[in-house]
Chains A and B, each alone.
Chain A
Amino acid sequence: MALKLWSGAEARGRAEDTLVHSDALYNLARYLTHDPSDAEDLVQETYERALRAWNDFAPGTNVKAWLFRILRNAFITRYRHDVRHPAPAPYDTTEQSPGQGAEGRSGRTEVEPEQMRRLVSSDIEAALRTLSDDARTVILLDVEGFTESEVAVVLGCAVGTVKSRLNRARAALRLELADYAARERP
């Protein structure tokens, strides 16, 4: 896609308003795509879409939530495109409910806080990656500091839906963490 620059008196403000969120967008993109190059492409596509849609952006709207919404939509579009045109390393977008994987396995118990404290970064990242894209997204948006209302804007759903999705996603993550905590036991 040819790059088309923002120009004019508002360019500086627009650039600063949006670029300040590039790290946060890239972080979500990394967890969605599992690949640094794909994450870069996804973030760049997000900014290209934002550039084209800027005239539709209503002043006063939360820029960060708007950008995250664009990124998520770009990811979904890209995934759907890749389903029709499979790539060598497809994304792991699945339509299972957040806790589906966890519920399907019997004999799993909740992790204890003491066990959680022994987990290391790679365990948490690995456990998070086992969740569905939707579950991972809602957890990462929550960690990013978005309110439930803002998450609802990003996901395009009701606040009540965000609450239930987040509760289910966190429950599923706790079960996954329990597995990692069990492996850590001497």
Chain B
Amino acid sequence: MTCEDVQNRLREFSRHLLDPAAHAEMDAHLQGCAACSSAERLEHSLDELLEQRLPRYDAPTSLKRRLGLLAGRPATSRREPTRWARAIAPAMAAGIALFVVGGLVQRSTGRSELASLTSEAVNDHLRVLASEHPLDVESGGSHQVKPWFEGKLDFAPVVPAVEGSELRLRGGSVGYVFDRKAAVLVYGLRRHVVTLLVFRPDGLDWPDRDTRQIGPVRGHEMSARGFNVVLWRSGGLAYALVSDVNAEELAQNATRFAAATVQEQGP
């Protein structure tokens, strides 16, 4: 591999888009070549500059409102009550009030548990983002990462290799979710980092209400501090997928992950 080859592929290298052999070859070249190593640092600095300091303009609210009308987004409509509903409304009101109060107590407890779990998952994701060395094992594929966890955890994590998506497994490390160890699997999705936490759910409050279908299992779609989080359980393990990619795309990838975990581990 010549210096020209290396410098033409620096972006692919830094984004882990090369196959493992090519990545390793470039890595070796960069360690021994001052010119290419300098070019690599330059590319990295430019990426940081563009990602962190280039101003970003959001669409004005007035434009979004016009686009909503244009695209036919249904307005938050209030349907007129039917005659039947109007007739029995007073009688139902008292009963509903009692039911709602009881339900709210239960629901708020469930939400609080989910919020706490979501917050913990986001904290773990932030540790990955903030750490200079977030990976204890670099990935050459799931078959390389999974054995690395042997002896480090009291369970065998599923390390999903997600087929047919842009997700690329970068590697993993051991972290914590509350009081228990977790496998922290880090994936790249274009320029985004996606963290999958795998941990034992024993003893954690995990509400079964308000779940959504996540591929073959049911789970929760949450958000906190600008990050989206998808939580689900499968095969005696719990999973939390966290990223700043939009909720829809993260849910699609969670579906793939859930399918891969069920396939490998059984429901």
> Residues of A with Cβ closer than 8 Å to B?
3, 5-7, 11-12, 14-16, 18-20, 22-23, 25-27, 30-31, 36, 39-40, 43-44, 47-48, 51, 110-113, 116-117, 119-122, 124-125, 128, 139, 143, 145-147, 163, 166-167, 170, 173-174, 177
Cross-chain contact B63 with A20 (CB below 8 angstroms): no
Cross-chain contact A3 with B69 (CB below 8 angstroms): yes
Cross-chain contact A22 with B59 (CB below 8 angstroms): yes
Cross-chain contact A120 with B53 (CB below 8 angstroms): yes
> In the complex, which residues of chain A have a beta carbon less than 8 angstroms from the beta carbon of B71?
5-6, 11, 14-15, 18-19, 47, 51
> In the complex, which residues of chain B have a beta carbon less than 8 angstroms from the beta carbon of A15?
68, 71-74
Q: Type the 1/0 row for B222-260, where 1 means its CB is closer than 8 Å to any CB of A.
A: 000000000000000000000000101000000000000
> In the complex, which residues of chain B have a beta carbon less than 8 angstroms from the beta carbon of A112?
42
- How many A-B Cβ pairs are below 8 Å? 116
> In the complex, which residues of chain A have a beta carbon less than 8 angstroms from the beta carbon of B42?
110-113, 116, 174
For B45, B48, B50, B71, the residue with the greatest tally of chain A CB atoms inside 10 Å of its CB is: B71
Tell me whether B100 is interfacial, beta carbon within 8 Å: no
Tell me whether B46 is interfacial, beta carbon within 8 Å: yes
Distance (whole angstroms) from the CB of B163 to the closest CB of chain A: 16
Residue of B nearest to A167 (CB): B8
Q: Known contacts A26-B58, A113-B42, A173-B46: does B74 contact A12 (CB below 8 Å)?
A: yes
Main secondary structure of the interface of A (DSSP, over half): helix
Tell me whether B190 is interfacial, beta carbon within 8 Å: yes
Bound-state Cα–Cα, A25 to B59, Å: 8
Distance (whole angstroms) from the CB of B187 to the closest CB of chain A: 14
Residue of B nearest to A147 (CB): B190
Bound-state Cα–Cα, A148 to B223, Å: 29
Cross-chain contact A147 with B68 (CB below 8 angstroms): no
Bound-state Cα–Cα, A123 to B63, Å: 28
Q: Count chain B residues whose beta carbon lies closer than 8 angstroms to a beta carbon of A.
A: 37
Distance (whole angstroms) from the CB of A119 to the closest CB of chain B: 6
> In the complex, which residues of chain A have a beta carbon less than 8 angstroms from the beta carbon of B59?
22-23, 25-26, 40, 43
Tell me whether B27 is interfacial, beta carbon within 8 Å: no
Main secondary structure of the interface of B (DSSP, over half): helix
Cross-chain contact B67 with A5 (CB below 8 angstroms): no
Cross-chain contact B73 with A12 (CB below 8 angstroms): yes
Q: Type the 1/0 row for B61-91, where 1 means its CB is closer than 8 Å to any CB of A.
A: 0011011111111100000000000000000
Tell me whether B60 is interfacial, beta carbon within 8 Å: yes
> In the complex, which residues of chain A have a beta carbon less than 8 angstroms from the beta carbon of B192?
145
Distance (whole angstroms) from the CB of A152 to the closest CB of chain B: 14
Distance (whole angstroms) from the CB of B46 to the closest CB of chain A: 6
Cross-chain contact A166 with B70 (CB below 8 angstroms): no
Cross-chain contact A121 with B73 (CB below 8 angstroms): no
Residue in A48, A116, A122, A125 whose CB lies within 8 Å of B45: A116
Residue in A3, A122, A128, A174 whose CB lies within 8 Å of B70: A3
Distance (whole angstroms) from the CB of A39 to the closest CB of chain B: 8
Cross-chain contact B49 with A116 (CB below 8 angstroms): yes
Cross-chain contact B45 with A117 (CB below 8 angstroms): yes
Residue of A nearest to B8 (CB): A167
Cross-chain contact B68 with A19 (CB below 8 angstroms): yes
Bound-state Cα–Cα, A27 to B50, Å: 14
Residue of A nearest to B191 (CB): A145
Cross-chain contact A143 with B50 (CB below 8 angstroms): yes
Which 4 A-B pairs have CB atoms at the shortest separation, nearest pair first?
A6-B72, A26-B59, A15-B73, A113-B45
> In the complex, which residues of chain A have a beta carbon less than 8 angstroms from the beta carbon of B66?
44
Bound-state Cα–Cα, A36 to B62, Å: 12
Bound-state Cα–Cα, A78 to B90, Å: 60
> In the complex, which residues of chain B have a beta carbon less than 8 angstroms from the beta carbon of A170?
43, 46
Cross-chain contact B190 with A124 (CB below 8 angstroms): no
